[in-house]
Amino acid sequence: MQPDEILAMTEAEWLGLADFLDDLTDREWRTDSLCPGWTVHEVAAHVSMSARSTLLGTLGGVIRARGDFNRMVATEARERAARFAPAALVAQIRETAGSSHRMPGSSPFDPLVDALVHGQDIARPLGRVRRMPAAPVVAALEHARVSRFYGSRKRFRGMRLIATDLDWSAGEGPDELRGPAGDLLLVATGRPAGLAALSGSGVGRLAAAL
């Protein structure tokens, strides 16, 4: 896939997420997301940084978090949520939707993964449906399933993944995971919420690993 194709899909997903967020009520912004300990507001604050991270800023944040990357990201999200109201965060997401800038060390596919997965982190606890189009979800899944960052290369070892809503499959092994591509993407990025829609001999082993 060409870089301009990835960027175009990513831009469309960010703009769609901004429209989705714009429709939320004040109560929904305060609701807990699928990310443990994070509200919807904090997830939105986190994704607003997707095209704003710098190498120096990231290194400084990791040092302040004593080398804990996840703690750094969580602290940054909470501080940014306290600083910016929902409308300001939505505007920021729209402003950078078409940017090719991304977090240092990340792949061109990672912003696409972020837009899709964080959209579900927000939508599912609210009981809202946020559709994931076929081409973007397949591109994100192809990347995430072998990514060391998400831990899915180890998690899916010895498993064949089969989408039940698309003509897509990948991986090899004695175990199978079957389900909608979007739910396979959720478990590829460490979200147990995707397990409920999956079937196959690999489900038990995967559940133990999440």
Give me the residue spans of the domains in the chain.
3-107, 134-208
- CA separation for the pair 29, 81 (Å, rounded): 11
Q: Whole-model pTM?
A: 0.91
Q: pLDDT tens digits for 46-80?
A: 999 877 665 455 555 555 656 666 777 888 899 99
Per residue in 141-196, pLDDT (tens digit) is 999 999 888 999 999 999 999 999 999 999 999 999 999 999 999 999 999 999 99
Distances (CA, A) of 32 to 77, 78, 87, 101, 173: 14, 13, 18, 29, 36
What the block records as the tokens of 207 is 């559940």
Fold entry, domain 134-208: Nonspecific Lipid-transfer Protein; Chain A (3.30.1050)
Q: Which amino acid is at 64?
A: R
